[in-house]
């Protein structure tokens, strides 16, 4: 296969010896199978900013910290430099997240290097060395679905114990490898403690999985793993080996709206009194 223009710099640097074939094209990147010395790897070529169909939502980028204040200002103002910086940050997040999750025992591809917008990483294979299929390409039995769902729930728990939430988890970014399920596509991953939407993203991830596996095992559709996992995390009781039930007791008591309004009114009155006091103090302090 002819070497794509974006991979040519890696060939010149000796990082890639040959492009074998294109594996897939997604909204964020093109995936190629490449030969690097004696090994076969995966090359994820991130699409350029003006060619992507998926935009970096503020929901995902909230709470990401940068060390360079000039860069941060440019990103917030969406200048041309800022847009490129945001694009580079998006790529770096995936590499950092893959490394963090691997250290936490989560099954993800091993990253090797990021160069000129191309991420070289482990190629996930199935039995007999064939390319591992995505879950959405498989027909599962009810028993397989339950096993896979519970296994992924444990992976999500490990991710959250490492303070990470995938944010876009579904049957489209889980591979069935020879050693089990492998979670992929993590540039949008968030740090749970820094993002106000963390709970809703975690619940959505688990609901997506339940909806998919529920096609083959309908009993999974009634599970509420996302809210259970978040509740345990919030209470400081979530650990990598926590036993999950899939159920959570919901608070059915009606909201005390009147009590909330009384509390708000009390605060407003105190603030109003404080403002009047400051005004009177300044008025009497003026020289006559």
Question: Catalytic residue numbers?
Answer: 168, 185
Please check whether residue 104 is in contact with residue 158, taking contact to mean a CB–CB distance below 8 angstroms. Answer: yes
Instruction: Please tell me the distance from the alpha carbon of residue 35 to that of residue 42, in angstroms, as a whole number.
Output: 8
Instruction: Please tell me the distance from the alpha carbon of residue 104 to that of residue 101, in angstroms, as a whole number.
Output: 5
Please check whether residue 22 is in contact with residue 30, taking contact to mean a CB–CB distance below 8 angstroms. Answer: yes
Which DSSP symbol is given to 251?
-
Instruction: Please tell me the distance from the alpha carbon of residue 132 to that of residue 179, in angstroms, as a whole number.
Output: 10
* Residue 124, helix vs strand vs coil: coil
Kindly report the CA angle at 223 between 253 and 108, in degrees rounded to 5?
125
Please check whether residue 172 is in contact with residue 143, taking contact to mean a CB–CB distance below 8 angstroms. Answer: no
- In angstroms, what CA-CA distances link 1 with 4, 5, 18, 115? 9, 12, 8, 21
């Amino acid at each position: 296969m002819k070497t794509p223009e974006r991979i040519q710099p890696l060939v010149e640097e000796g990082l890639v010896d040959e492009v074998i074939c294109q594996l897939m094209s997604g909204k964020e990147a093109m995936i190629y199978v490449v030969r690097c010395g004696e090994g076969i790897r995966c090359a994820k070529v991130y699409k350029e900013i003006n060619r992507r169909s998926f935009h970096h939502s503020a929901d995902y980028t909230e709470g990401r910290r940068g060390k360079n204040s000039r860069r941060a200002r440019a990103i917030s103002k969406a200048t041309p430099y800022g847009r490129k910086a945001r694009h580079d940050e998006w790529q770096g997040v995936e590499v950092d997240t893959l490394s963090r999750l691997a250290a936490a025992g989560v099954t993800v591809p091993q990253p090797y290097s990021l160069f000129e917008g191309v991420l070289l990483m482990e190629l996930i294979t199935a039995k007999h060395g064939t390319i591992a299929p995505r879950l959405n390409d498989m027909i599962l039995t009810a028993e397989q679905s339950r096993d896979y769902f519970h296994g992924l729930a444990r992976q999500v728990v490990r991710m959250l114990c490492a303070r990470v939430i995938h944010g876009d988890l579904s049957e489209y970014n889980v591979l069935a490898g020879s050693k089990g399920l492998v979670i992929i596509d993590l540039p949008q991953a968030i740090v749970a403690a820094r993002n106000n939407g963390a709970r809703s993203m975690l619940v959505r991830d688990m609901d997506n999985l339940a909806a998919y596996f529920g096609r083959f095992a309908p009993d999974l559709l009634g599970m509420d793993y996302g809210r259970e996992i978040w509740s345990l995390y919030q209470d400081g009781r979530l650990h990598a080996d926590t036993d999950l039930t899939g159920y959570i007791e919901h608070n059915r008591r009606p909201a005390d709206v009147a009590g909330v309004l009384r509390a708000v009114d009390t605060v407003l009155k105190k603030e109003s009194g404080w403002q009047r006091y400051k005004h009177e103090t300044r008025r009497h302090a003026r020289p006559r």
